[in-house]
Chains A and B, each alone.
Chain A
Amino acid sequence: MSQTVLGGDRAATPSGTAEVPAIRLRNLVKRFGETAAVDGVDLDIRQGEFFSMLGPSGSGKTTVLRLIAGFDLPTSGTIELEGRDVSGMAPFQRDVNTVFQDYALFPHMSLLDNVAYGLRVRGMAKQERRERAVEALDRVQLGKFVTRRPAQLSGGQRQRVALARALVVEPKVLLLDEPLGALDLKLRQQMQLELKELQRSLGITFIFVTHDQEEALTMSDRIGVFNNGKIAQTGTAHEIYRRPTGPFVANFVGTSNLFGADAAGRLYGRGGQFVVRPERLAIGWDGATPSDDGVTAVRGTVASVVYVGHATQVHVALEGGPAVVVLVGADLPGADDDLLGRSVAVSWADRDAVWLPDAA
């Protein structure tokens, strides 16, 4: 994308200020009555980063987003925006904009007025704000629809308007609150790519809240996994997936087969827990355990077979160990009914076993 209104002065800014984080949260706490929705979050989000906050519903990720936007004020702790403390400021005082889950488009305004709204309340002249709004709508392929009302648009189009409206005021940080949740799978995947591309071309910091681990893994530079109001782990998609630091992250991000302390002791003679991803497990249908070096094998019984399109999930109850899921890409050696209850061997390379740090 060429130099644009949105990216204009940002592209001119040298990246020398990159050491100051775009957002810095220190010991952030938000209580609603008795419950702590956010319970001591420390987080640095770098400038120009695509950061995802991933977690199940009720894990505090949306509350953190609302605290950054200023819709709620923290019970304690600080929020810094590019080095400036904004903890107690109202939303209109913060250089941060939000794309809402329900898009929150103004129903009584045309698309043009919706997108120009932020410029209007900041006192920009009518002619200029119209030009910028049209340009922003053009960028999200809605230039033809400037006179339409939000009610006349599809979900995906509304989503684009919300994006254009938030970006036209050139925020330092863009907050996205599960913006793709209401779209169908195809459109969601397309929007994921477009968002990522937009973020790359604008260089604006994006903070993206989602409960969809696949979405987070696809789009993010870094991911913060939330659980019970705390951050369980922060890292790149690769780190989060390959090196989870606890059972929660291992289970929430992708499917994991968790081996408890007793299984670990029996198989490896050491304490602690480890996980193996389903696609790293191999299944021996004849029940013979391979004796290669660096490969561990356990016998088990097939409990169920679930076809998921690109592969088959085979659930195996291991002898003396946990029930595991094996992802089998190849064709199965028989009909499902024949396989059920069959005695098989499940094996994995020892380097694919990820040891979890002991819970403190």
Chain B
Amino acid sequence: MTDMGFKKMAGWLAALVLVAASCLPASAQQDAAEKEIERYRAMINDPMANPGFLAVDRGEALWARKRGAKNVSLESCDLGEGAGKLEGAYAKLPRYFKDADRVMDLEQRLLWCMQKIQELDTADIVKRRFGGPGVESDMQDLVGFIANKSSGMKYQPQVSHPKEKEMLAVGEALFHRRAGVNDFSCTTCHGDDGRRIRLQALPNFAKPGKDAQETMGSWPTYRVSQSQLRTMQHRLWDCYRQMRHPIPEYGSDGITALTVYMVQMGAGGEITVPSIKR
């Protein structure tokens, strides 16, 4: 199905939910609305019809493409499991890398490999970090491809190295850090079970368990409303936007610290990616 098809269907379905719900008393209306949304989720959750897999294919080609001053591919990049080994790498990221002496998430590590192995000018890559109309994002495609190689596996957070431990503690503090014109922290929306913003269900990330497992296990995801495969870097960028915070720097350690914390909360969660969401 085309993107337009998806969008039309989403709009049609939203209208249907409202019409169906308006005939019922309030609590039943809510249940009916939630059931319809659940049905819609199940309907779009079809790998054969998920455009996110096009990004996976593009990512595979990018991984093997010779680029940069050295005109080599990324195939010798070590994502933590050994040079060029992709299976299960995403399930253990972010993690500490000795060669860089830093904890990195997948996107930071890819940028590092582009610079060190390919000697590729990453300014252009970072400029196109989030795809949109007329902008193809190499990072989204590469993350889609690499994360997909951990599909069916479980998140195994890496927290043995002191720098990984530091990232986890800082990530948790950042998660609870209130600031800005609305006094928001991540906890404001994601600190309790079963809450909603408008009609959107909010996963609880303030404790380990099902919410965090299911959420982390379904990123990167193809966002129907944006016609793009989105990564966790983009999700957190969007959260800070809604929190009325400034634009967080792409691939900064703060974003990685938050990711370390969220992966820890989602430990053991099964990875099924790319998923598809509204």
Partners in one complex: no
* A residues in contact (CB < 8 Å) with B: none
* B residues in contact (CB < 8 Å) with A: none
